Chains A and B, each alone.
Chain A
Amino acid sequence: MTFSRREFLKAGLAGSLAVGAGGLLSACGTGNTIKAFTTSTAGKPRTGGQLRAGLTGGSTADTLSPLNAITNVDFSRINNLYEPLVGLTPEAQPVNVLAEELTHNANATEWTVRVRQGVTFHNGKTLSADDVIYTFQQILNPKAPAAAAAGLASIDAKGMTKLDAYTVRIPCSTPFATLGQALAIPGYSDIIPVGFSPTAPVGTGPFKVKSFSPGTQSTFVRYDGYWQSGMPYLDEIVITDYADQTSQVNSLLAGQVDAVNLLSEDVISEVQGESKNVLLSPGGGWNPFTMRVDTGTFSDVRIRQAMRLVVDRQQMLDLVFGGFGTLGNDLFGIWAPEYDHSLPQRHQDIDQAKSLLKAAGAEGLHVTLVTSDIAQGTVLAAQVFAQQASEAGVSVSVDDVTVNEFYGTNYLKWQFAQDYWFYNFYLPQVSLATLPSSPFNETHWNNPRYNSLYAQAIATSDDALRTEIAHEMQQIEYAEGGYIIPFFPPVIDGFGANVGGLVPSKIGLSLNAYDFKGVWLS
C-alpha cells in the first residue's frame, strides 16, 4: 500500500515537471529515493524587489544573536545578517567565506586564520583580527557559553593572539585537526564586531536588520557596502512567522508570500497544483532514536542490534516523508568525506532480531519510547517504529511528551528517546555526541577503542589517514552503537514561480540554508 502511494506521488511529480517551463531535474545524493528539482521560471538574475518569506518554527524566543541561534528558522535571519569564517556549500562542503586562509601546524594544536580585507560591518567598521578574537571569546564565555561552545571547546580562548591586523593565531588545548570543519557548522563562526550588542545587531552579511519582532515579523534591507560585488539582488526581505503549515500554504497559494519552509510531503501536490514550486532538498540532518548503552535494557548489545534490525527503513521513510529523503545506516555525517559508504545498507531482518532477543533472554521485550514533536515527523516515526518492532514481538509504548518536558530535566537521560540534529561533519559530531566528554552524549556511549581512535583522528593532518581511522570508528558504531538512524529526512519548501536562485541544500536547513543573497525576483 505504501509502495503504491509513493509511486503515485512520483508520477504526480513527474507530470508537474513536464508541465513546468524550463524544468530542471537534478537527482542528487546516494539514495535512489531523492528527486530534487526546481521548476523556476524566474529567468536571469535581476536586482531589486522584496522577498516575502512565511516561515514556521519561530517563536517569541527567536533571536538575532548568532551566539544563540538554535532553531531552523533562527538561521533565516542569522545567515543573512552575519557571515562565518568558513561556510558550507549547498553540497555541504566547507568553503572559506570571511576567512581567506586557514592553516594549522603539524600536530594541529595551533591554527592560523587570515581574514579577507575590505570587508565592513553594517555600522561601517572594517573587519579585522580583533573581531575574530572577540567572537571566539564570546562563544566560549564561561559565564554565558554560546550554542557553539561545546563544539569549539578545544580552542584556548585566552591564548589567541593577533599576528597582524587581519591574522589571528588560535591555539588549541588538544589537537584539533577538524577545526576547519567545525567552523563551517551554521552559527559556529559567524563573526560579530568587537562590542557587539544584541539590541543593535550588526554583521558583515548581505542584509542588515531593519525591524525585528520575535515570533511575528522581521525585515531586512540590502547592505550597500557588501563585499561580494553585485550581491545581493534583493532590496528587502520580510520574514513573517506562521503558526502552522495550513496558513503557510494558504498564504503561498494566495500570493501573500513568495517562499515558505518546512512543508510536509502531503502538501506537495497541492502546492504544485497551483503552479507554485517545491524545493526538495536531500537534508543531512538526522532524527535518531537514542538507546542508552550504559544502563537498563539497552546495555545488552544484542538488544540494541535487534532494535536496529526491526526497522524497515524504506517503509518508515515512505510513511513519514512520502519516500523522499535518504536511507540511514545508523551512522551520522552522511555528506562528510569521512563517512563510510562501504558498510552494507542495513535492512529489516525480523528473524535475526528475534534470535538476538532470544539469545539475550529478552523475548516479549517491553520498552517505552519517549517522543515529542521536536522536529518534523519525529512522533510519526516513533509510531511506525512501535508498529515495526511488534513484528519481532517487542512491544513499544510510545510516550508523547511536550517539547518542554522532552528538553527539560530528563534531556540526555532518557532510556529510549529521539532527537534531531542538523548536518555536521563526522568527527565534529563525534565530539558533540559520542565521547564520554561530549555534552550531548545521549546514548551514553563510551567505547575505549573508539575514544582512542578519535584522539588519533583529530591529531592527524593526513586526510587519508584520518578517513581510515574514522571508518574504523564507524565500524564500531555500526556494530554496537546506541543510535538507530533510519533515515536522513528531506527538507521540503515551497516558493512562487517568480523566485529565482533557490537551490537544494544538503545541510538540513530550509530554502538553500536561507542564503538569500543569490535569490532574485522576476
Chain B
Amino acid sequence: MTIATEAPERVGPPSKAARPHPIRDLLIKRSLIGILTLVLVSILVFAATQTLPGNAASAVLLNTATPQRLHALEVQLGLNRPAVDQYWTWLTGVLHGNFGKSLANGQPVGTLIGGRILNSLALVVLAGAIGTLIGVGLGVLAAARRDSAFDHVLSVTSLGVTALPEFVVAVVLIIFFAAVVVHWFPAVSVFVPGTAPWSNPKELVLPVATLVIVVVPYVFRMMRASMIDALESDYVQMARLKGVPKWRVLLFHALPNAIAPTIQVIGLTFLYLAGGVVVVEYMFNYPGLGQALVSAVSDRDIPQIQAIVLVLAAFYIAVNILTDVIALAVSPRRRLPRS
C-alpha cells in the first residue's frame, strides 16, 4: 500500500536533457530508490519487532508485571492497538517530521538520538578519514618499495591485524593506554550528556584508534595492489623513460589511476565502520547510536529502533551513492556510455 504511493515517483523525471549527464542521473535515480529502500526497511524492521517475544510494557515492568500493571501500561503506550494501525501512526508521524516518543521513557526520539548521531558520526568520520590517509599512504609507499623489507613487514603485519576482531584490539589498547600500563587516556568514554564529541577529545582517542587499526589493513592492501598494477602499466614505464622524477610518477601518473578501485574499498570501509562502531561503542561505553540500538532492542522501544535503523540505512545509501559518484568523477572513461 505504502509502496504503491511511492511508485509513480520511481519513474523519475523525463530525460529532457539531450546530453547524458551521468552523475546527475545517477544521483536522482539512486536517491529515489534509496527512499523506497528506507520505506521497505521500516516495514521490515517493524514486522521484525512484532515477532520478538515480549513488548515494551513487559520490558519496562520486568518482574513487577502484574496483569493490571501490564494492561495499564500497554494502553498508555498504545501497544494494545493492531500492528498495522501502530505502524501507520508512526509513518504519518515521520512524514510530518515527528519520530515519536520513546516507549521506554516517554522522551522524544529526536532528542534522544540526535546527540548520539553526532557522536557516532564523529567516530566514523574520524576513523574513516585517518584510516584512509594512513592506508593509502602506506599502500603507496609499500608499492613503491615493493619486495623490500618495509613492504614485507607491512604486509605481514596487516595480515595479522586483519585477523584481530575489534574487541581484541580495544582490550589491548585499554590495557596498555588506559587501565594497567599507563593511564594516558580514559578507559571508557563518558560524555556529559549534551556536549559535542569534539569537546571531549581525550575520550575519542582510544575508540578512534581501535577503529583505525581495524580498517587500515583493508585500505592498505587494496591500495598496494592497485598501485602495483598501475606502476607496471605502460604509461608509467613511459613516464619513467621520459625521465619524470620518481615522486612525480608516483603521485601524478600512478596514483590517480590506482585510486579508483580503492575508493570502492574506502566506501566499504565507511559502511563497515557504521556497523563496527556498535562493538567499539559497547567496549568503551561510548554514547553513540550503536549503544542506543542495543538498549532500544532490549527495551522493545520500537520508535527508537526504527529511527536508529533508518539513520543507519540512510547512511549506507548515502555512502554508496557518494562512492559511485566519486568513482565516476575520478575516472572520466567510466562516464562514457558503454558501447
Which residues of A pack against B, CB within 8 Å?
54, 59-63, 68, 70-71, 142-145, 147, 149-150, 211, 213-217, 240-244, 246-247, 250-251, 253-256, 374, 401-405, 407-409, 411, 419-421, 439-440
Given the complex of chains A and B, what is the CA–CA distance between A243 and B300 in angstroms? Answer: 17
Given the complex of chains A and B, what is the CA–CA distance between A215 and B61 in angstroms? Answer: 16
Interface residues on B, range: 35 or more
Give the residue among B60, B102, B188 with the most A Cβ atoms within 10 A: B188
Could you say which of B61, B67, B299 contacts A60, with CB atoms under 8 Å apart? B299
Could you say which of A54, A216, A407 contacts B62, with CB atoms under 8 Å apart? A407
B187 beta carbon closer than 8 Å to chain A: yes
Residues 53-75 (chain B) with a chain A CB within 8 angstroms: 53-55, 58-69, 72-73
Q: B112 CB to closest chain A CB, in angstroms?
A: 7
Q: B174 CB to closest chain A CB, in angstroms?
A: 6
CB of A404 within 8 A of CB of B52, answer: yes
Chain A residues, CB < 8 A from B284: 247
Query: What are 27 A-B contacts defined by CB distance under 8 Å?
Result: A59-B298, A60-B102, A60-B105, A61-B60, A144-B73, A214-B105, A214-B107, A240-B285, A243-B282, A243-B291, A247-B187, A247-B188, A247-B284, A250-B179, A251-B186, A253-B180, A253-B187, A255-B183, A402-B54, A403-B54, A403-B298, A404-B300, A405-B54, A407-B54, A408-B55, A409-B53, A421-B63
Task: Specify the chain A residue showing the minimal Cβ separation from B178.
Answer: A254
CB of A402 within 8 A of CB of B53, answer: yes
Chain A residues, CB < 8 A from B190: 217, 240, 251, 256
Q: A495 CB to closest chain B CB, in angstroms?
A: 17
Could you say which of A60, A145, A374 contacts B104, with CB atoms under 8 Å apart? A60
Chain A residues, CB < 8 A from B54: 402-405, 407-409
Given the complex of chains A and B, what is the CA–CA distance between A49 and B53 in angstroms? Answer: 45
Given the complex of chains A and B, what is the CA–CA distance between A421 and B63 in angstroms? Answer: 8
CB of A61 within 8 A of CB of B188, answer: no
Given the complex of chains A and B, what is the CA–CA distance between A242 and B186 in angstroms? Answer: 14
Q: B189 CB to closest chain A CB, in angstroms?
A: 9
CB of A214 within 8 A of CB of B58, answer: no
Q: B199 CB to closest chain A CB, in angstroms?
A: 15
Given the complex of chains A and B, what is the CA–CA distance between A54 and B284 in angstroms? Answer: 13
Chain B residues, CB < 8 A from A145: 66, 68-69, 72
Chain B residues, CB < 8 A from A216: 193, 287
Could you say which of B53, B66, B285 contacts A439, with CB atoms under 8 Å apart? B66
Q: A379 CB to closest chain B CB, in angstroms?
A: 16
Q: A399 CB to closest chain B CB, in angstroms?
A: 12
Could you say which of B55, B105, B179 contacts A62, with CB atoms under 8 Å apart? B105
Could you say which of B62, B66, B72 contacts A150, with CB atoms under 8 Å apart? B66
Task: Specify the chain B residue showing the minimal Cβ separation from A217.
Answer: B193
Chain B residues, CB < 8 A from A214: 104-105, 107
Q: Majority SS of interface residues in chain A?
A: loop
A59-B295, A62-B105, A243-B282 are known contacts. Are A403 and B62 too (CB-CB below 8 A)? yes
B262 beta carbon closer than 8 Å to chain A: no
Q: B58 CB to closest chain A CB, in angstroms?
A: 5
Q: A108 CB to closest chain B CB, in angstroms?
A: 24
Q: A199 CB to closest chain B CB, in angstroms?
A: 9
A211-B193, A253-B187, A254-B187 are known contacts. Are A247 and B295 too (CB-CB below 8 A)? no
Could you say which of B53, B292, B299 contacts A61, with CB atoms under 8 Å apart? B299
**A-B pairs with lowest CB-CB distance, top 6:** A404-B54, A405-B53, A408-B54, A250-B187, A61-B104, A213-B193
Chain A residues, CB < 8 A from B64: 70, 147, 150
A211-B193, A251-B188, A404-B52 are known contacts. Are A59 and B104 too (CB-CB below 8 A)? yes
Task: Specify the chain A residue showing the minimal Cβ separation from B186.
Answer: A256
Task: Specify the chain B residue showing the minimal Cβ separation from A64.
Answer: B105
Could you say which of A60, A143, A409 contacts B304, with CB atoms under 8 Å apart? A60
CB of A250 within 8 A of CB of B53, answer: no
Which residues of B pack against A, CB within 8 Å?
52-55, 58-69, 72-73, 76, 102, 104-105, 107, 112, 174, 178-180, 183, 186-188, 190, 192-193, 282-285, 287, 291-292, 294-296, 298-301, 304
Given the complex of chains A and B, what is the CA–CA distance between A485 and B285 in angstroms? Answer: 35
Q: B75 CB to closest chain A CB, in angstroms?
A: 9
Chain A residues, CB < 8 A from B112: 60
CB of A61 within 8 A of CB of B105, answer: yes
Given the complex of chains A and B, what is the CA–CA distance between A251 and B173 in angstroms? Answer: 14
Chain B residues, CB < 8 A from A213: 193
A214-B104, A247-B188 are known contacts. Are A61 and B66 too (CB-CB below 8 A)? no
Given the complex of chains A and B, what is the CA–CA distance between A71 and B104 in angstroms? Answer: 14
A60-B112, A214-B104 are known contacts. Are A404 and B58 too (CB-CB below 8 A)? yes
Could you say which of A149, A244, A374, A402 contacts B63, with CB atoms under 8 Å apart? A374
Chain A residues, CB < 8 A from B105: 60-63, 214
Chain A residues, CB < 8 A from B180: 253
Given the complex of chains A and B, what is the CA–CA distance between A71 and B193 in angstroms? Answer: 22
Q: A402 CB to closest chain B CB, in angstroms?
A: 7
Given A59-B295, A439-B68, 5 more A-B residue pairs with CB atoms under 8 Å apart are: A60-B102, A214-B104, A250-B178, A402-B53, A403-B54
Chain B residues, CB < 8 A from A253: 179-180, 187
A213-B193, A254-B186, A408-B54 are known contacts. Are A243 and B285 too (CB-CB below 8 A)? yes
Give the residue among B65, B112, B287 with the most A Cβ atoms within 10 A: B65
Could you say which of B66, B283, B298 contacts A440, with CB atoms under 8 Å apart? B66
Given the complex of chains A and B, what is the CA–CA distance between A439 and B67 in angstroms? Answer: 8
CB of B72 within 8 A of CB of A247, answer: no
Q: A118 CB to closest chain B CB, in angstroms?
A: 34
Chain B residues, CB < 8 A from A421: 63
CB of B299 within 8 A of CB of A59, answer: yes
Chain B residues, CB < 8 A from A150: 64, 66
CB of B299 within 8 A of CB of A242, answer: no
Could you say which of B62, B192, B295 contacts A215, with CB atoms under 8 Å apart? B295
Q: B42 CB to closest chain A CB, in angstroms?
A: 20
Task: Specify the chain B residue showing the minimal Cβ separation from A56.
Answer: B285
Given the complex of chains A and B, what is the CA–CA distance between A61 and B299 in angstroms? Answer: 7
CB of A144 within 8 A of CB of B178, answer: no
Given the complex of chains A and B, what is the CA–CA distance between A489 and B141 in angstroms? Answer: 59
Chain B residues, CB < 8 A from A250: 174, 178-179, 187-188
Chain A residues, CB < 8 A from B107: 214
Task: Specify the chain A residue showing the minimal Cβ separation from B283.
Answer: A247
Q: B57 CB to closest chain A CB, in angstroms?
A: 10
Give the residue among B62, B174, B193 with the most A Cβ atoms within 10 A: B62
Q: A140 CB to closest chain B CB, in angstroms?
A: 11
Given the complex of chains A and B, what is the CA–CA distance between A251 and B188 in angstroms? Answer: 6
Chain A residues, CB < 8 A from B285: 240-243, 247, 251
Chain A residues, CB < 8 A from B295: 59-60, 215
Given the complex of chains A and B, what is the CA–CA distance between A60 and B73 in angstroms? Answer: 16
Could you say which of B61, B66, B174, B291 contacts A70, with CB atoms under 8 Å apart? B61
CB of A420 within 8 A of CB of B63, answer: yes
Given the complex of chains A and B, what is the CA–CA distance between A401 and B73 in angstroms? Answer: 23
Give the residue among A241, A255, A411 with the most B Cβ atoms within 10 A: A411
Given the complex of chains A and B, what is the CA–CA distance between A404 and B192 in angstroms? Answer: 30
Task: Specify the chain A residue showing the minimal Cβ separation from B187.
Answer: A250
Chain A residues, CB < 8 A from B193: 211, 213, 216-217
Given the complex of chains A and B, what is the CA–CA distance between A211 and B115 in angstroms? Answer: 15
